[in-house]
Structure 1
Amino acid sequence: MGSGLLVAGTTSDAGKSVVVTGICRSLARRGLKVAPFKAQNMSNNSMVTSEGAEIGRAQWIQAVAARAIPEAAMNPVLLKPGNDRRSHVVVLGRPAGALEAGEFAGGRKHLADAAFGAFDDLRRRFDVVVCEGAGSAAEINLRDHDYVNMGLAQHGSMPTVVVGDIDRGGVFASMYGTLALLDAADQQLIRGFVINKFRGDVSLLKPGLDSLERLTGRPVLGVLPWQRDLWLDSEDSLALTSRPAHDGDGALSIAVVMLPRVSNFTDVDALCLEPDVRVRFVDDPRALAGADVVIVPGTRATLADLAWLRSRGLDTAIVDHARRGGPVLGICGGFQMLGTRIDDPHGVEGVPGASAAGLGLLPARTEFGHEKALRLPRGSALDAAASGYEIHHGRVTVDGGTEFLGGTREGSVFGTMWHGALEGDALRWAWLREVAAVVGREIRTGEVSFPAAREVRIEALADLVDEHLDMDALLAMLSDERTLPVLRGTLR
């Protein structure tokens, strides 16, 4: 039976995903067989595994960091928000209905059972399971039914470290308060703290670190410095505004429409690394002015986001851009919006019988069905090898145009059902050369390999973890977890 470690947080976006990724690679470099785990992920940013299962993108990249094959057990419950009160549920990689907001507290026992079963299975097969919590470790309103944070820690009798983002301010209060809000049994599992995203001289923190350790009886296991260039495949859209982007008069300007329910926005990550490409996220038609290329990304609610597009006047701006000869790329839901019509007879997205006309830029019609496509397609386009992944309920019928990656092309308007296609270097370079020629620009290609860049970032993150975290203390926790010493006292 392997060991387990829970990396919890004081808040959402405290850096849990990044810390888990770094720890996974650090342990893997030590020769351990490591698996990442997140009992429940709420995200529209997902990935298809080789077994044809859907998991959160963050757990997929953590598996890559762990040098493990991504699998459904690593993210047994995935909630994909359709609106503010309803989420589509994926259990062990397969669609499993929907949850309304009122069900979140007491109607999830079957989800907890699936999560605990998946965790136990991984623990039997791996030396270490590095678990990522969700939101705050002190979600006390949800504690009775929790299976993601301290409920999971209690199930696995796991040592837990709490990560706090110092860039938000108030990190010492949030760490002390997180511990203080927990009951005595949960407090016993909190073994230390990690401060994330620190800028400056770490010696300035020493009085605060000493006080926190004295007040809580727990060590600060490390202070991770803020690093701009270590962004990874993100789990939610909080990271969109921090994407790196190149600038310059000669850059190819790409405007990505930031849909309210955007999904799989990592489709454009590779473009952000290209030296002659400038990527901007826009939600206003005026922001499209001056863009060479427009990308309409995927969405978890195609009809609702199409209505939003029209309410903002972005539909007219995109159509005008295309009619002037400007390149447009629609990916999955974005491709469906570029077609002629979208129908949802069964209410897959919420309202049975809902339908709407598309933007009419491509000869494609979409009908949503209950069956979900989860595939890892391969092929070619623009004389380049291509691969990607499909995650969708919509069945698209194409009448005319030129076949393009599970979609179609009309002139400089492209539509594809394949997520992740631009991560392939050959296809991305070919597409960039194509659209650059359309707008009369010359750009460099062939200088950036996205898979290689991802590996460099993972290795650099593991280097930071090894340098700035007390990995010996973490390893000692893992070896002693079955006989964790009882800490003296509890906070009141």
Structure 2
Amino acid sequence: MTGRALLVAGTASDAGKTVVTTGICRALARRGISVAPYKAQNMSNNSMVVAGGAAGAAPGGCAEIGRAQWIQAVAAGAVPEPAMNPVLLKPGSDLRSHVVVMGEPAGALEAGEFASGREHLARAAFDALDDLRSRYDVVVCEGAGSAAEINLRVHDYVNMGLARRAGMPTLVVGDIDRGGVFASMAGTLALLSPEDQQLVRGFVVNRFRGDAGLLRPGLDELERRTGRPVLGVLPWLRGLWLDSEDSLALGARRFDDEAVEPGADVLTVAVVMLPRISNFTDVDALCLEPGVRVRYVDDPRALAGADAVVLPGTRATVGDLAWLRGRGLDGAIVEHAADGGAVLGICGGFQMLGREIRDPVGVEGPAGVRVPGLGLLDAVTEFGAGKVLGLPRGTALGVAASGYEIHHGRVTVGSGAGFLGGVRDGLVFGTMWHGALEGDGLRSAWLRAVAHARGRSIDVGNVGFAAARENRLDRLADLVDEHMDVDALLAMLDGGPALPTVRLTLEQPR
């Protein structure tokens, strides 16, 4: 028996597709429905390692999927797997993306091939969806960008092309916090072909603030003009960020000074906003610590007053290191370390802290490139063609630790103490493990080490990150249950009558 499926599409990137999909997954799972998330294609440098790989892979192997589908699987109570994100594009530059298919590296895609060079990717995506539908009652699919990417429609397998192929009812999500939500929803529908329009069964308004009664006239007019119901108006809720795929969501992670009691002793952590930042969720757990102020910086002056600097992962280590130098951040980081401040480099950020980075095979550009690092750690990185994926466990700072590895760089360490697959020299830490700070023990130990060196007394270790994540998922499902017509959504999965075609018009409201 084939399970039912739903597409959650959007009017634009960051309209709320990921959040709505995640909330629906948890809400359906709480009803006892076997549900799986799915996104045919991500374009994101925020990914996660999961157990297993493509068919025929060696037992015990690992695979790579988008971080958003990983958290959606957690919300659904399902085991994350490659079929939930069969195609992952990881931008290395504005013109080239590295391709991951069913969790494994599959070459690169140039900008000129984006429209026409993806037939094999579409086949992989369709096969993965068919597989999930054979094993789950409901598959909740997330679209990408806008549902009305009409320049890409002929080769589309992510939005309406996917919906058409699978006969999926589609929800269109719009972000009212940006303004223009009624025009964007009606315009999205009007730009679709009559055949695609038949699959759009309703709208969801996301991030609404204020009196819902003031919205009613607009909702009524939207329904009248389009013939589609608004199945929900989800309120804007402070702090409800998730493990998203898009760095546009970093704004929701900025520190809220109102959460700190006046006069409280806090640690300030500056996270460098690299242009090709990857796995930015590595610092999410720091954002939840009441004794920690996290800020995202791209200017050397913003490091003033920071107790610790985090250099996160990146999909373009050499290019982002050049950007760092071009902005003067390299010198500011070295000066910060010389003044007794802590520095934590994660994956690509760790590689930047070493003595040299070598690319003999051309992973990030021309083969044979060698560039000096910041020289804060005795380590040399050499890129290899094969990607390292892993789910390591170990100990550091006297506590158990775990994380995940995704990298081409192989690091050779000279002097210094070992630290999470990397090295430590005083308060300069380098690790190849993503996600390690999600471990409550390791995070607390690192923060205490930084605080002790800075002569600070802060309250840490009282936040359980895994429990906080579960609470956020349940809050999101509560919002869906309270503000969306979930019964109508379930009925929508069984199809329905033909709906009117909507065309662009200058008709005045009645």
TM range (shorter): over 0.9
Match of 2:56 in 1: none
1:168 is aligned to 2:178: yes
In 2, Cα distance between the equivalents of 1:477 and 1:148? 20
Q: TM-score, normalised by structure 1?
A: 0.98
C-alpha contact (below 8 Å) 1:160/1:190 kept by paired residues? yes
In 2, Cα distance between the equivalents of 1:98 and 1:230? 34
Match of 1:155 in 2: 165
Q: Write the letter of the residue equivalent to 1:24.
A: C
Given the alignment, which residue of 271, 289, 295 partners 1:274?
A: 289
Match of 2:401 in 1: 386
1:35 is aligned to 2:36: yes
1:244 offset after TM fit, Å? Answer: 4.2
Q: Percent identity?
A: 74
1:80 is aligned to 2:90: yes
Given the alignment, which residue of 173, 184, 190 partners 2:194?
A: 184
In 1, Cα distance between the equivalents of 2:424 and 2:37? 39
Given the alignment, which residue of 434, 437, 441 partners 2:456?
A: 441
Counterpart secondary structure, 2:51: coil
* CA pair 314-489 structure 1, distance change in 2 beyond 3 A: closer
1:410 is aligned to 2:425: yes
Counterpart secondary structure, 1:266: helix
1:129-188 Cα deviation digits (max 9, x unpaired): 000000000000000000000000011100000000001111001100000000010000
Counterpart secondary structure, 1:328: strand
Given the alignment, which residue of 61, 74, 82 partners 2:71?
A: 61
1:246 offset after TM fit, Å? Answer: 4.6
C-alpha contact (below 8 Å) 2:422/2:432 kept by paired residues? yes
C-alpha contact (below 8 Å) 2:39/2:158 kept by paired residues? yes
Q: Write the letter of the residue equivalent to 1:16.
A: K
Match of 1:136 in 2: 146
In 2, Cα distance between the equivalents of 1:215 and 1:241? 34
Given the alignment, which residue of 303, 312, 315 partners 1:300?
A: 315
Match of 2:11 in 1: 10
Counterpart secondary structure, 2:157: coil
Counterpart secondary structure, 2:462: coil
1:486 is aligned to 2:498: yes
Match of 2:214 in 1: 204
1:122 is aligned to 2:137: no
Match of 1:49 in 2: 50
C-alpha contact (below 8 Å) 1:244/1:273 kept by paired residues? no
* CA pair 489-181 structure 1, distance change in 2 beyond 3 A: closer
In 2, Cα distance between the equivalents of 1:271 and 1:351? 37
Q: Write the letter of the residue equivalent to 1:397.
A: T
1:429-482 Cα deviation digits (max 9, x unpaired): 01110111011111111211110000000000000000000000011012x13x
Given the alignment, which residue of 195, 215, 224 partners 2:205?
A: 195
Counterpart secondary structure, 1:136: coil
Q: Write the letter of the residue equivalent to 1:485.
A: P
In 2, Cα distance between the equivalents of 1:236 and 1:306? 21
Task: Give the root-mean-square deviation of aligned CA atoms.
Answer: 0.9
Counterpart secondary structure, 1:256: strand
Match of 2:250 in 1: 240
1:490 offset after TM fit, Å? Answer: 4.2
C-alpha contact (below 8 Å) 1:13/1:238 kept by paired residues? yes
1:91-136 Cα deviation digits (max 9, x unpaired): 0001111111110011100000000000000000100000000000
Given the alignment, which residue of 469, 485, 490 partners 1:475?
A: 490
1:19 is aligned to 2:20: yes
1:342 offset after TM fit, Å? Answer: 0.1
Matched positions, count: 489
In 2, Cα distance between the equivalents of 1:394 and 1:140? 39
Q: Write the letter of the residue equivalent to 1:202.
A: A
Counterpart secondary structure, 2:151: helix
In 1, Cα distance between the equivalents of 2:469 and 2:406? 22
1:351 offset after TM fit, Å? Answer: 1.8
Q: List runs of 5+ in structure 1 lacking aligned partners.
A: none
Q: Write the letter of the residue equivalent to 2:184.
A: S
Match of 1:291 in 2: 306
1:177-203 Cα deviation digits (max 9, x unpaired): 000000010000000000000000111
In 1, Cα distance between the equivalents of 2:90 and 2:68? 14
1:356 is aligned to 2:357: no
Q: Write the letter of the residue equivalent to 1:439.
A: R
Q: List runs of 5+ in structure 2 lacking aligned partners.
A: 53-61, 505-510
In 1, Cα distance between the equivalents of 2:334 and 2:501? 65
Q: TM-score, normalised by structure 2?
A: 0.95
Q: Write the letter of the residue equivalent to 2:298.
A: D
C-alpha contact (below 8 Å) 1:245/1:273 kept by paired residues? no
In 2, Cα distance between the equivalents of 1:244 and 1:300? 22
Q: Write the letter of the residue equivalent to 2:299.
A: D
